[in-house]
Amino acid sequence: MYAKSQKIAWAFFASCMGLFALQLAYGFILGFDRMGMDGLHDLIPFNTARATHTNLLVVWMLAGFMGSAYYIIPRESERELWSTKLAWIQWASLLLVGVVAVIGYHFNYWEGRKFLEIPRPLDYLVVVNVLAFLFNLLMTIWTGRTKSTTAMVLFFGLLMAALLYLPGMYTFDNLVHDSYFRWWVVHLWVEGVWELIMGAILSFLLIKLTGIDREVIEKWLYIIVGFTFLSGILGTGHHYYYTGAPGYWLMVGGIFSALEPLAFLGMAMYAIVMARRGGRNHPNKVALQWTIGCAVMSFIGAGFLGFAHTLPSVNMWTHGTLVTAMHGHMAFWGAYAMLILAMITYAMPEMTGRKLFKGWMPEWAFWLTNIGMVAMTGAFAVMGIAQVYMERKSGMDFLEVQESLEIHAAGLVCAAAMFTVGVIFFIKNFIAYGMPQDNVSESSEG
Ligand code: HEM
Ligand code: HEM
Ligand SMILES: [Fe+2]
C-alpha cells in the first residue's frame, strides 16, 4: 500500500541512520578532547567538532521528521504522495545542503551562532527545500480521501517549524538582539512546535500499536501538547536571564518554564495508561517500547532535568556549563531521537513485510542505548556540577577546572561506547530489513 511514498520515507530513514552514526563519531572526538586527548586538534578543533556534532543532530532529526511525515501523511490521507518526483528531489537536495554545510564547517565557513551555524546562502536553499516538502504534503492532504486530525497537526507543526526558521536568518548588529531572536528558533523549536510534531507522531503510533480509538487518543494527546506548547511560548524567558533583556523575564521565564515539566509528565503518564488499556496485542512489542520510552525519557530529560536549571536563581550559576549539556543530551534523546527510532521500528516491518523485531538485537538496541544515555547524562551531571562549584563558586581558573574534569570525561566516553553499541545494533537491524517491497499489506489498520 502506498509503495512509492514508502520508498521515499525509507530513503529519509536510511539517511537518518547514516547522519546519526556520523554525529556519534564527532561526539567521540569531543569526548576525547574533553579527556585531554586532542590529537586531532589541528585538523578538527573542538569548536568545529562541536558545531558538526550538533548540526548533524539537527539534520538527522529533520530527516527523521520528514521521513515520518512521508510515511504517515499518505496513510492518513489514503493516497500516494502528491508528487513522488518532487519528494525525491527534496530528499537529494536536503542531503546535499547537509553535507556541504558540514564540509564547510571544517574550513571555517559558518556563522558563529550556536545551533544555527549554517551560513546564509545555504539557508536560502533550506527554505526552498522545506517549501517543496510542505507543498507536497499539503497537496497530499488536500486531495486525500480522509483528512485526519493527526495528519493536520503534523502538517501544522512542520509548517510552524519552517516559519520559525526565519527569525534565525536575520542579521542583527546588536548582540543582545541577536541572542534574543536566536532563541525564537532554538527554544521555540524544541519546546514549542517540535512538540506538535511529537504529539502527532506519538498519536499515530499509539493508534496503530494499542488499538485504542483514534478519537480518544487524539483528544487527550492534543490537550497535553497544547498545554506544553502554551507554557513553552512564555517559557522562552528562561533564556533571557541576565542577557540584557528586560528584568521582568526573570519572573515570566521562571514561572512559565517551571510549568513545562507538568505537560511532559502528563504525556508520559498518558502514554503508559494507553498502552496498558489497549486491547490490541500488536506483535511489534519493541515499537511500543520505543514509543512509551520516548514519552518517559522526554519527561526525565526535558521536564525534570530542564526544571533542574530553569529557575533564575539556579541558572545564574549553571548557565552555559556542562549542566546544560547534561540536560541537552537526555532531552534530545528522549523527546526526538527516541521518537524517530520508534517510528522507524514501527514502519520497517510494515514496509518490508519482514518481522525482524522479534530477535534479541532490537531489544538490546533499546536497552543499551537507553542505559548508555542515562550513564552519559550522569557523567555530564558530575562534570557540570563540579564545574559550577569550582569555576563559579570558588573562582578557580577556567582551564584548571577543565583539566580537573578530564577523569569524568573518561566516564562519559565509556558510557558513550555502550550507547554506541546499542546504536550499531539498531542500524544493523535496519540494514537487515532491506528496502520496502511493493504489494506488502500492513499488519495493522487503525
Ligand atoms: C524536548 C525538549 C527540550 C530539548 C530538546 C531541550 C534542549 C536544550 C538544549 C540543546 C539546550 C542548550 C541550548 C543552547 O545553549 O543553545 C537547552 C537549554 C536550556 N533548557 Fe532545554 N530542552 C528541552 C526542554 C526544556 C524544558 C521543558 C526546560 C524547563 C523546564 C528546559 C530548560 C532549559 C534551560 C533553562 C536552558 C538554558 C541553559 C543555560 O542557561 O545554559 N528545557 N535545552
Ligand atoms: C557517542 C555519543 C556522544 C558523545 C561522546 C557526546 C559528547 C558530547 C560532548 C563532549 C559535547 C560538548 C559538550 C561541551 O561543550 O563540552 C556534546 C554536545 C552536544 N551533544 Fe553530544 N555526544 C554524544 C551523542 C549525542 C546524542 C545521541 C545527542 C542527541 C540525542 C547529542 C546531543 C548533543 C547536544 C544537543 C550538544 C550541545 C549541548 C549544549 O549545548 O550544551 N549528543 N556532546
Ligand atoms: Fe528553552
Domains of the chain, CATH where assigned: 3-433 (1.20.210.10)
- Residue 48 C-alpha cell reads as 568545529
Backbone angles phi, psi at 173, to 5 degrees: -80, -25
Rounded Cα gap, residues 182 and 166, in angstroms: 10
Give the number of the ligand closest to the Cα of residue 405: 2
Rounded Cα gap, residues 21 and 17, in angstroms: 6
Q: What is the pLDDT of residue 394?
A: 96
Q: What is the pLDDT of residue 446?
A: 44
**How does DSSP assign 372-407, residue by residue?**
HHHHHHHHHHHHHHHHIIIIIIS---HHHHHHHTHH
Q: Which of 46, 45, 56 is nearest to 19 (CA)?
A: 56
pTM here is 0.97
Q: If you take atom 21 of ligand 2, which residue's CA is the nearest one?
A: 27
User: What mean pLDDT is predicted for residues 292-317?
Assistant: 98
* 445, pLDDT greater than 80: no
83-101 pLDDT, tens digit per residue, is 999 999 999 999 999 999 9
Ligand 2 center–CA 329 separation, angstroms: 6
CA of residue 160 relative to chain centroid, distance:
16
Lookup result for grid cell 485504542:
212
Q: What is the pLDDT of residue 444?
A: 52
Q: What residues are in contact with ligand 1 under a 6 Å CB criterion?
A: 114-115, 186, 190-191, 238-239, 257, 260-261, 298, 302-303, 306-307, 309-310, 315, 319-320, 324, 327-328, 331-332, 335
Closest ligand 2 atom number to CA of residue 30: 10
98-112 pLDDT, tens digit per residue, is 999 999 999 999 988
170-212 pLDDT, tens digit per residue, is 889 999 999 999 999 999 999 999 999 999 999 999 999 999 9
End-to-end, the C-alpha distance of the chain in Å comes to 14
Rounded Cα gap, residues 149 and 49, in angstroms: 40
Ligand 2 center–CA 29 separation, angstroms: 10
Closest ligand 1 atom number to CA of residue 310: 35
In terms of Cβ atoms closer than 10 Å to its own Cβ (0-12, 13-18, 19+), residue 28 is middle
The model's confidence at residue 133, banded by pLDDT at 50, 70 and 90, is very high
Q: What is the pLDDT of residue 440?
A: 79
* 441, pLDDT greater than 80: no
369-384 pLDDT, tens digit per residue, is 999 999 999 999 999 9
Closest ligand 2 atom number to CA of residue 24: 1
